Amino acid sequence: MILMNNKTDQISQLQTPKSDSEIRQVWRHLRRNRMAMIGLLILVLFLIVSIFAPMLTQYDPIKLNLINALQAPTSEHIMGTDWQGRDVLTRILYGGRISLAIGFITVVIGLAVGIPVGTISGYYGGKFDLFVQRIIDILIAFPGILLAIVVVTVLGVGVEQVMIAVGISTIPIYTRLVRGSVLSVKEEGYITAAKSLGIGDARIIIRHILPNCLGPIIVMSTFRIATSILWAAGLGFLGLGAQPPDPEWGAMLSNGRVYMRTLPHLVIFPGLAIFFMVLGFNLLGDGLRDALDPRSRKYG
């Protein structure tokens, strides 16, 4: 499966800034990248409105208000109301919390398993590595969102289940990425020097190898958050993710579909929210990848 590993392999070769001046250099490069800054701005905006949602709106995202049901956008309800009279903008603001939480928690699940397994696999190699690689091959054999669907089938529906399901589907990607990074870092001269000084494996891994794998991990995480948000919204849309009355964007889209012909705002706005959040992470990820790639930094 050469091709399936291609993107992961490319990211695993990125460098990690080792000193303050290198971090500053990466930041300078990132700051000059207009698209990455737009991405960062989008994400900061989403973060602010999600955190301060209760202060930004007077409406409740869950409480029914049937008298106001199915209103087109007005000055009072900028994005209209849904079939239960709830303000769509309010639900989108609160929905940002769910999407961001899903994005970050799935990545944490992926990292929590991917880092130790990938590190041991890459550092020690041997039979454990061979065994892990075969397991990863099996998990990667499920196309796109399918592995998450399989896990949801077993766990049942709901936001927490989606986080676990999407998180599990992220594990093989991180394991492979970390293994690749460890493989390239462990060949560096300073690792050989540390070994010849008699420093133990655990210390070498924690103090010298993992900090040098951070660059690829950060870049991959930025992209994976975007993918996790998309997948979780997809599961919500299919009825396999967040359940009513959770204001999750995918589920909002799915519920708004019934009224799409007469009240298109019910599907337009939640979709735009997903799009911009995913775009923000992708733009930032692209920028970080360029900033951490010494070849592009040199010419940038």
Partner 1 sequence: MYGYILRRLLLAIPVLVGVSILVFSIVRFIPGDPARIVAGVHASQEYVERVRAELLLDEPIHLQYYVYMSNLLQGDMGRSSFTRRPVTEELFERFPNTLILTVAAMGIATIFGMGAGIISATRRYSLFDNFTMLFALAGIAIPVFWLGLMFQLLFSVQLGWLPSSGMETWKNLVMPAMTLGLATTALIARITRSSMLDVLGQDYINTARSKGLVERVVVYKHALKNALIPVVTVMGLQFGTLLGGAVLTETVFTWPGIGRLLVDSILTRDYAVVQGAVLLLALLFVLINLLVDIIYALLDPRISYGTQEVD
**Closer CB to partner 1, 183 or 199, in the complex:** 183
Contact 157, 243 (CB under 8 A): yes
Tokens 């696999």 — which residue?
121
Is residue 208 within 8 A of residue 217, CB to CB? The reply is no
CB of 76 to partner 1, least distance (A): 25
* Cis peptide, bond prior to residue 270, ω within 30 of zero: no
d(CA 211, CA 22): 14
Cis peptide preceding 245, ω within 30 of 0: yes
Instruction: Compute the radius of gyration of the chain from its Cα atoms.
Output: 22
> Which C-beta is closer to partner 1: that of 74 or that of 153?
153
Q: Name the residue nearer to partner 1 (CB basis): 17 or 236.
A: 236
What are the beta bridge partners of residue 81? 87
Is the Cβ of residue 205 or residue 229 nearer to partner 1 in the bound state? Answer: 229
Of 54 and 294, nearer to partner 1 (C-beta) is: 294
DSSP 77-91: STT-B-TTS-BHHHH
- Whose Cβ is closer to partner 1: residue 64's or residue 238's? 238
- Burial of 73 from C-beta contacts in 10 A (0-12 / 13-18 / 19+): middle
Query: CB of residue 167 vs partner 1: minimum separation in angstroms?
Result: 16
Strand partners, 87: 81
Cα separation, 251 vs 244, in Å, equals: 8
Joined together, the tokens standing for residue 133 give 């690689």
Nearer to partner 1, 205 or 232 (CB): 232
- Collapsing DSSP states into helix, strand and coil, what is residue 263? coil
CB of 229 to partner 1, least distance (A): 9
Work out how close the CB of 201 gets to partner 1 at its nearest, in angstroms, rounded to a whole number. 25
> Are the C-beta atoms of 108 and 171 separated by less than 8 Å?
no
Instruction: List residues near partner 1 by CB under 8 A.
Output: 1-4, 6-7, 35, 134-135, 137-138, 141-146, 149-150, 152-154, 226, 230, 233-234, 237-240, 250, 253, 257, 260-261, 264, 267-268, 270-271, 274-276, 278-279, 282-283
Supply the minimum distance, in Å, between the C-beta of residue 93 and partner 1: 18
CB of 274 to partner 1, least distance (A): 5
Question: Least distance (Å) from partner 1 to the CB of residue 279?
Answer: 4
